[in-house]
Structure 1
Amino acid sequence: MLSTSAKLVNIRRDLATKIGLLKTFGRIVGKVSGRKYKEFVRELCAGELGLEGAVSALLAVRARIEQEIRTLEEPILGFGKHSDPPVDDGARHWRRDGRQLRHGGGSSALCPLIGC
């Protein structure tokens, strides 16, 4: 599911890039927040019959992809919320050279990974 979700996110980004090519027609999209994006792009294309239809189709595909991303992410996020916390089994972590991996103390982002 993760790889499928990642592919859909990449497709959504590619569609945004294609829609961003409106500057070829003298229209610049720029940075627009998620909720206002669709309305802003539609306003840019208003009155241009061929352009309006093409962009409308791209926006419809983008909306469908966003829906599929949300559908895939719900179970993934739910799995993380309902999974058991890691158990300290007393295992030690070793370096490739055979020496025990030690941590110098203090808090570190690696502590959950190496068992500080």
Structure 2
Amino acid sequence: MPLTYRVAHQQEINNILRTWRFPLYFSKPVMNHMVHFLDGVMTRGFSGTLTDIHRESCHSQDRRTLSHFLTHGKWNEQHLMRIIQQQSWESIKREAKHTQEPIFVIIDDTVCRKTKPSSPALSPMQ
């Protein structure tokens, strides 16, 4: 029987996901994979690989389990994005209200699909 490691920050991630009502929409295995993924991504030495995520998250399952989940898992990605966007916006509004200062938001569109480059741009990145 594999040992299950649960550290304080993993419990905190679980609590946040519960607050956002993720368990209503996602199964327990999906929730475990999300905690595993978030735990690994938020570590100090994360360089963007699944191997790093697995190594840093103290997860007891094989590294390939997370890879399989991300490529073949059954979960509603659109719903997940909607919840994250909503929670991000609420957090921004709370911070603005708390500080009584304007909040400047930079929207990163690097992952958005570019259909055609703008006319004055020499390359799509411009």
Identify the TM-score tier after normalising by the shorter chain.
Answer: 0.3 to 0.5
TM-score of the superposed pair, with normalisation by structure 2 = 0.33
Higher relative contact order (CA 8 A, sep 6+): 1
TM-score of the superposed pair, with normalisation by structure 1 = 0.35
- In our comparison, the structure showing a higher alpha carbon Rg is 1
